[in-house]
Structure 1
Amino acid sequence: MEEEVKGRLIALGGGDDDGLIKLIKSEICSLQSHIEVIATATPQAADGVNSGNAYKEAFEELGCGNAHFMRIDEEHEADTPDNIARIRKADVIFFTGGDQLRLARFLNGTQVLKEMQRRFREEDIIISGTSAGAAVMSDRMIYNGYGHYSLLRGEMKTTHGFGFISKVYIDTHFAERGRFGRLAHAVAHDRDYVGVGLSEETGIIIKNGDQVEVFGPGVVTIIDASDVRFSNISEVPENEPIAVQNLKMHLLVHGYRYCLREHLFQPVPQEQSNVGV
């Protein structure tokens, strides 16, 4: 796994996100903290504006008076001097849900994203997102694979994400949309990756680029291929089912964590367990 970083990732699996917004507010601890909302994942520009402003207002209703909506889409490029300046002073960057391929299309390779990545490595900044905004956080992301078809070679597809963390696949709406197959396929294909499946209304905080802790009422699924003994993925023809031996799975709830570097499941010491919203 990657070297220790100073920033924190907060990712939600989709669904009702009141708990996520309250958690962000409690984590930043200052009502004057600078929050940037990015709704690029929303497919229609008008809907993106509505979504971005709605989240801005949700933070304001909690007393965060320094929340802003940063518009990046077909008509608004990422790398403006104003956007870069705003990212340089942001305490929280929040990505809304929608289509993670849109996020990759409009932000990968930009100076805005490079500045986010730099600050995440070097400073105590919060990078947060829900649904597509969570799936895009790692260096690679899943963008295709449905039901039992996702266990056929070629049906599960991945591409480059934002790289705030590496060697992790984050999948969302995990239990609700039957996404076990595609996450299992992804980590069986890339065995040095750990799969993290987020149920709706449930999420994770990743600290130090390593420690995955749960918030919310549901379950986070961890899929680990580090001890796989056999897989036919490199040999089986396209559209044929895959076979994998010794794929491991863990179920995390609030009060437990998974250490990515050590592949270790453990309880969170009670005095440290402060993310159960």
Structure 2
Amino acid sequence: MKQYQRSSVLVIGGAEDKVHGREILQTFWRCAGGSDAIIGIIPSASREPTIIGDRYISIFRDMGVKDLKVLDVRDRIEGEDKSYQEYVEQCTAVFMTGGDQLRLCGLLADTPLMERIRQRVKLGEITLGGTSAGAAVMGHHMIAGGSSGESPNRALVDMAMGLGIIPEVIVDQHFHNRNRMARLLSALSNHPERIGVGIDEDTCALFTPDDHLEVIGKGTVTVVDAQAMSYTNQGKVDAESPLALHNLRVHILCHGDRYNRKTHQPTAAVNDQ
């Protein structure tokens, strides 16, 4: 079985398998230390944090962990809670659940709790996972909402500041399941220096400390590289008009495929058979 490092960041497209093989959540658990894992769960994106927090407590307890705690931040002042901060110092991993990414950022951005989590991730001391809304917040720029089912245009996407865990990416989730390619392209039209990462449901983009992204799960991860974009009409048309985007590079990655974030090159999965 493949081993991943403690310093991995698991960005999950939502609706990950919580019942059967639980491949993605099992991978998170292994990165966190398996039976020695100490996991903090942040359900702040959810309108029902107790229910969703308890659900992940049950899942990880079934797998076998050393300790678990829900960091139930419902007000920004709780992001300064000393007991939560002390727990994060002991953690081997933190998991952010789904819900509303604007709510998650509104409660956690720039709090002592989130700043310490980000610092420990950067130092390679803990594993971080986020699903759905918990995935959307990973970049410096965040897709806060928008529509689907039409041509790329600036009105299609609402942008906000994310948590900046992986600053160079713009993440969209439930990707092909909710027809969000145009939304991601609309976001990139104004930020071509970023890497667009669209993650399908029950699929994970696992960011490794060696600057790679590796795909785990049943669907695909779509990587849109706009750094060589030669033309866009983004600044010349009104918000509802279709966008022109020339010379984009698009990669569709499946389970085991990797993408080098420095060289912008994909590599195919290695067959372990």
Query: Given the two structures, how large is their TM-score scaled by the length of structure 1?
Result: 0.90
Counterpart-to-counterpart distance in 2, 1:270 and 1:181: 33
Q: Deviations over 1:210-254 (max 9, x none)?
A: 200000121111111111111000111222111111122110012
Q: What is the 5 A alignment of 1:1-277?
A: 7-17=7-17, 18-43=22-47, 47-74=48-75, 77-149=78-150, 151-208=152-209, 210-269=211-270
1:151 counterpart SS class: coil
Unaligned ranges ≥5, structure 2: 1-5
CA apart distance, 1:145: 2.0
Counterpart-to-counterpart distance in 2, 1:162 and 1:72: 16
Amino acid at match of 1:257: R
CA apart distance, 1:135: 1.0
Unaligned ranges ≥5, structure 1: 1-5
- Distance of aligned partners of 1:76 and 1:58 in 2 relative to their CA distance in 1, 3 Å threshold: farther
CA apart distance, 1:269: 4.7
Over 4 Å off, 4+ runs: 268-271
Q: Deviations over 1:18-71 (max 9, x none)?
A: 32221112223341221000100002xxx2101101101110011114111111
Q: Deviations over 1:1-26 (max 9, x none)?
A: xxxxx832101111133322211122
What's the % identity of the aligned pairs? 29
Query: Given the two structures, how large is their TM-score scaled by the length of structure 2?
Result: 0.91
CA apart distance, 1:149: 4.8
Counterpart-to-counterpart distance in 1, 2:221 and 2:100: 21
1:222 counterpart SS class: strand
Amino acid at match of 2:118: Q
Q: Which moved more, 1:146-155 or 1:85-94?
A: 146-155
- What is the Cα-based RMSD across aligned positions, in Å? 2.0
